[in-house]
Structure 1
Amino acid sequence: MPATLAPPVSPPRIRKGAVWALGLLAAATGTLESVVAPTLPLLQRELSMSPAQGALLSIAMLITGALVAPVAGGLGDRHGGKRVMIRLMAVVAAGGLVSSAAPNLPVLLLGQVLQGAMVGAMPLSFILVRKHLPVGESQVAIGVVSGMFVGGGMLGTLIAGPIAEGLSRHWMFAVPTLAIVVATLSVHLLMPDDPPARSGGRIDWPGLVLLSGILLTLMLGLALAPDLGSRPLALGGLVLVLAAFVAGWTAVERRAASPMVDLRLLAKPAIWSSYLITFAVCAGTAVSMYLVPQLFAVSGDGYGFGAGSTDIGRYLLPGAVAAAISGPLGGAAVRRFGAGAAVTTGIGVMAATLAGLAILHTEVWHLVAGKALIALASGVCVTAMVVRTATSVEHGDTGTATSLVLVTRVIGFAAGAQVSGALLTSGTPSGSDVPAESAFVTGFVIAGAVTALSLLAVRTMSKGANK
């Protein structure tokens, strides 16, 4: 039976405490998400992992998140954001407990796969704030939740090592998991129930399977990107598989009575332009995230600084702080100046900074300041895209539309990181393990150009949007 619109219901307006409960949950999930990266060497030693197994562990949660986000957003649109969020967080908490008790790699991988469901909490939060707050306040609230997630990631990066070394690796998973449980209870108590936006439609299982196939193929292609150039048959096979999944998914969604993703939604200029800009900005950001620490670590006898892990962490801290405040700043900027102005300014600052780093990277402060500016500008852009996407669709499509922004963000970061790695690999002279300085310059220039080109899509953002 075709999906029908539920009778209009005016949900109660929420207090600030409910918004901060969502922010606390975002911070806790961001903390849990980020504890593996800084402690990967320790985990490899304690669990006798090979480098390949370590790489698998580092992307397991990323892949799950890319798959779960659109599903969670769609279910939240259908059945209510709060209802789906509570159940999703139960899965995440179970994953955190499994990770904290894991005696070996297979169990830890299982825990990471379950934890990956946390990415779905973001579109569900956006559903709730949009239903319970007027447009201006919901824009700021979306920025607060986004910023708290980034701030949680910064906190997890800082505390993971000390907790793992001072207590054990088990506690670095257990502590943020307990925080997630507390935050989820706070959301349950403070956030009123939200009525489903749509009712009567069945879950589009064929569409979900095919969309999962598309995302898995993309992530696999990005993970294997450095080796695909020398394996044309593998590259051709991946392209064919991806094309088949896309064609099948498009056909299924067009015929589905209640599609998980309405293709008419994706055809709106305000929506597809948001996804395009998000991908370009995140790819450019990922290049700086990958290249700047590598440049700090290059021997000081050459063009680098010979910095150790502790020094690099200290150098990157201003950028992490800038990323944390970029969410609320982006939401406030959209409310006051509009999404177009916020995104245009952010892209301009980011492109200029990347070009500047290609020319000036001979002093530590060049890289510290540049990384902070990129983090701030990128965060403002992505938050503006989330806000713009959320307010450009009907209430019943908020979760689906914003979840795809988050998926695009993941793919953009993965693409930028893989391109950066390929550039440094190809730019390393034979017989040396130190990339040529020109490889870094090329990376910054490419990232700046890709970011600047996304300005071409900004004009389309105002077309076909719901005001």
Structure 2
Amino acid sequence: MTSTTQTCDPDPRRWRILGLVGVAQLMLILDVTVVAIALPHMGADLGLARETLTWVVSGYTLTFGGLLLLGGRAADLFGARRLVLLGLLLFTAASLVAGLAESGPVLLGARVAQGLSAAMLSPAALSLVVTTFEGEERNRALGTWSALGGSGAALGVLLGGALTAGPGWPWVFFVNAPVGLVLIVALMSQLPKQPRPATTSRLDVPGAVLVTAATGTLTYALIQAGDDGWVTIASAVLFAVAAVLYALFVARQRLAASPLMDVRLLIRRPVAAGTLLILVATALMITVFFLGTFYLQNGHGYGALVTGLLFLPVALATMVGANAVGRFMGAVGPRLLGFLGLLVAGAGMAASALWDSIAALVIGVAVAGAGTGVVFVVASATALGQIEPHEAGLASGIVSTFHEFGATLGAAVVSSVAATSIQGTDTNGFSRGFATGAIVAVAAAVLALAVTPNPRAE
């Protein structure tokens, strides 16, 4: 072990590389919440209904999450450097189209294209982080990466408020263009050249189609339940179709010559626990922002800028939670930290549900942000901490997939639970939405306590 460490000197550019790919990942995360704050204005300008506005968020995260496994596999097959640069270029172009959109279909098409390019970029960028760093430095790098994901989502609401109130909602997309171009130039000079891996494996496109179709069907069922009801024949059929498609995906992975993912990797206890935590944490995060923006703008008449400023405590609390957890991970262990983080998030959600006031909302979602910030770091460290280098792209794709599916399903569920409030009929739906988040957080906390491994004991 000592001789290997001496002969494999760390790349002196590793922290610069982390900074650059971290900004790229931050741009992808921001594109969920920076858009959430602008949804009421998009709906008013383009004449979009609740279902379409939900798909503006879920269409991006669904495509992003559904193709992430394919992107992670592509990073292993063709090289992470190539996928990062190509993904950045396509994401920049799709952002320009979204900003120029003058109709719902064009906007949704651009959001799908953004999700496609993000699916290339995100797992390849995380794969670079995992393979560039080793040992304790890898844990520090993953902590920084996770903090970007949690705090960046909250900061996106603040940025979205400023851009929507200033030059207008199209600028939540236009701002990606100069940042993307600068990152492409910088990464071309900093990332070391990578030879194309010598492999005859192929990409499992049918597998990617199956898992995306399954989650898309489930998302559609959840969104439609807000209008048609949860206990209907149509909902039952859609849920059944989603289950069948997921089963076909698993069968495909067992039979394919070059499967999209190794199912055995997903059932490893650390990976399974980490993906559960990342799914729930992201669903709770999107619940806060999706409900909060409609509550403040439609329910209380606040402008986009004031709404963004009111979410500033969420950004700060999320960063504090994500950064503080790294100091206690070794002493306390991920199991207890994940359990406590989810309980704190649930308590914040409950406060927002029980008291209908601006102060209760701001304090409650800030507390929830601190809890989810803890869970994001615990999830990434648990799922990726013991991954071998040759599995880095695939494991990163799995973790990122569940992150985006969490956002997709979270937006769909709360959109339906709070449908009457989002449409302006009453305000009771907001309380129901936050109460649903609190119940999910507490249930997930109990489950996490049971399934999260304890490295010290093992």
Q: What TM-score, normalized by structure 1, do the two folds share?
A: 0.82
The answer for the alignment partner of 2:181 in structure 1 is 181
Q: What amino acid sits opposite 1:316 in the alignment? A: F
Q: C-alpha displacement at 1:182, in angstroms?
A: 0.8
**Residue 401 of structure 1, CA deviation:** 2.2
Alpha-carbon spacing, 1:290–1:28, altered in 2? closer, same or farther (3 Å): closer
Q: Are 1:347 and 2:366 counterparts? A: no
- Is the aligned partner of 1:129 residue 2:129? yes
Asked if the contact 1:271/1:392 (under 8 Å) is kept, the reply is no
Cα deviation for residue 342 of structure 1 reads: 3.3
Residue equivalent to 1:37: 36
Structure 1 residues 164 and 76: CA distance shift in structure 2, 3 A = same
Q: Could you tell me which residue of structure 1 aligns to residue 4 of structure 2? A: none
Aligned partner of 1:38: which letter? I
What CA distance in whole angstroms lies between the structure 2 residues aligned with 1:70 and 1:464? 32
Q: Write the distance in 2 (CA, Å) between the matches of 1:111 and 1:437.
A: 29
Q: Deviations over 1:234-270 (max 9, x none)?
A: 2232233223222322222112222111111122122
| Unmatched 5+ stretches in structure 2 | 1-6
Mapped partners of 2:456, 2:242: distance in 1: 30
Gaps of 5+ in 1: 1-8, 300-305
For these two proteins, the number of residue pairs brought into alignment is 448
1:252-331 matches, within 5 Å, as: 252-289=252-289, 306=300, 308-309=302-303, 311-331=306-326
Which has the larger displacement, 331-340 or 443-452?
Answer: 331-340
**1:245: which partner in 2?**
245
Offset, 1:423: 4.4
Secondary structure in structure 1 of the residue aligned to 2:261: coil
- 3-state DSSP of counterpart to 1:200: coil
Q: What's the secondary structure of 1:274's corresponding residue?
A: helix
Find the counterpart in structure 1 of residue 363 from structure 2: 369
1:377 Cα offset (Å): 1.7
Q: Which amino acid aligns with 1:457?
A: A
Structure 1 pair 227–313 and aligned structure 2 pair: CA distance change class (3 A): same
Note the C-alpha offset of 1:418.
4.3
Aligned equivalents of 1:66, 1:255: Cα separation in 2: 22
- Shift in Å, 1:420: 3.9
Counterpart pick for 2:444 among 443, 451, 461: 451
In structure 1, the residue matched to 2:218 is 218
Which residue is 1:407 aligned to? 401
- Cα distance change on mapping 1:380 and 1:191 into 2, 3 Å: farther
CA displacement at 1:90 relative to structure 2: 1.5
Distance 2:281 2:151 in 1: 19
Q: Distance in 2 between matches of 1:445 and 1:12?
A: 44
Amino acid at match of 2:27: A
Deviations 1:33-80 (A, max 9, x none): 444322233333443444444343333212221222221111112222
Q: Say if 1:441 and 1:175 are closer, same or farther in 2 by CA, change over 3 A.
A: closer
Asked if the contact 2:418/2:432 (under 8 Å) is kept, the reply is yes
Q: CA RMSD in A?
A: 3.6
User: Contact 2:150 / 2:319 at 8 angstroms: preserved in 1?
Assistant: yes
Q: SS of the residue aligned with 1:259?
A: coil
Distance (whole Å) between structure 2 residues aligned to residue 91 and residue 451 of structure 1: 36
Residue 23 of structure 1 is matched in structure 2 by: 22
Task: Assess if the C-alpha contact under 8 Å between 1:274 and 1:389 holds in 2.
Answer: yes
**Counterpart of 1:302?**
none
CA distance in structure 1 between the aligned counterparts of 2:449 and 2:213, rounded to whole angstroms: 30
Tell me by how many angstroms 1:443 deviates. 3.4
Following superposition, the deviation at residue 95 of structure 1 comes to: 0.5
The answer as to whether partners of 1:101 and 1:170 remain within 8 angstroms in 2 is yes
- Residues 346 and 441, structure 2, Cα contact 8 Å, conserved in 1: yes
1:143-190 residue CA offsets vs partner (Å, 9 max, x unmatched): 323333455444443344544554455444222221022123222222
CA distance in 2, matches of 1:96, 1:81: 22
Shift of 1:81: 1.5
The residue aligned with 1:95 is 94
- Counterpart in the other structure of 2:377: 383
Distance 1:53 1:198 in 2: 44
Distance in 1, Cα, partners of 2:320 & 2:111: 27
1: distance between equivalents of 2:406 and 2:260?
22
User: Using the alignment, how far apart are the partners of 1:391 and 1:53 within structure 2?
Assistant: 39
Q: Distance in 2 between matches of 1:226 and 1:184?
A: 42
Q: Give the distance between the partners of 1:92 and 1:298, measured in 2 at CA.
A: 31
In structure 2, the CA distance between the partners of 1:440 and 1:60, relative to structure 1 (3 Å rule), is closer
2:67 aligned counterpart, secondary structure: helix
What SS does structure 2 have at the residue aligned with 1:199? Answer: coil
Contact 1:128/1:194 (8 A) holds in 2:
no
CA contact (8 A) 2:72 2:396 kept: yes
Question: Is residue 211–residue 249 contact of structure 1 (8 Å, CA) maintained in 2?
Answer: yes
What is the CA–CA distance in structure 2 between the aligned matches of 1:166 and 1:355, rounded to whole Å? Answer: 33
1 CA distance for matches of 2:32 and 2:286?
17
- Contact 1:37–1:58 (CA under 8 A) maintained in structure 2: yes
The answer to whether the 8 Å contact 1:26/1:122 transfers is: yes
**Change over 3 Å in CA distance of 1:444–1:382 after alignment to 2:** closer
Letter in structure 2 aligned against 1:127: S
Task: Provide TM-score, normalisation by structure 2.
Answer: 0.83
* Alpha-carbon distance in 2 for matches of 1:184, 1:358: 44
